[in-house]
Structure 1
Amino acid sequence: MSGLTGDWYYDVSTGEVSQGKATHALTRMGPYATEDDARRALEIAAERNAAADAEDDD
């Protein structure tokens, strides 16, 4: 995907990472700034959920 500009996305239905706009918006997570972050989408979401849960507990 070299030469493309834009944000990165993770498709939860396929596990694929793509860059830029795509048609399957309902199954995508993102945008992420980097391809690596998109590959870690589920991990990042879990970290954010844990942080929000901890904040709710305070």
Structure 2
Amino acid sequence: MSDGDNKWYFDLSTGEVTQGKNASWDNRMGPYDSEVEARNALNVAKNRNKAADAAEEAEEDWGVKPSWEK
């Protein structure tokens, strides 16, 4: 049994949490160490996206308007 078989995954197509790789890679989030972490996969992704968007926005803000904005 591989290590991936002991991990938990969130299936995007069904919303189910499973132990082991039961869904195809394009419908699967994980691996997670626990069932609770897998159940929280969408919230983790949402928070990471918000943080990445904020970081990108801050990086792009040089304090000067672009020349095409008046």
**TM-score between the two structures when normalised by the length of structure 1:** 0.79
Asked which structure has the greater RCO (Cα within 8 Å, sep 6+), the reply is 1
Q: Which runs of 5+ in 1 are unaligned?
A: none
Q: 3-state DSSP class of the match of 1:26?
A: helix
**TM-score between the two structures when normalised by the length of structure 2:** 0.67
How many residues end up aligned between the 2 structures? 54
Identity of aligned residues (%): 52
Displaced runs of 4 or more, over 3 A: none
Q: Which runs of 5+ in 2 are unaligned?
A: 59-70
Aligned residues: CA RMSD: 1.4
Larger Rg: 2
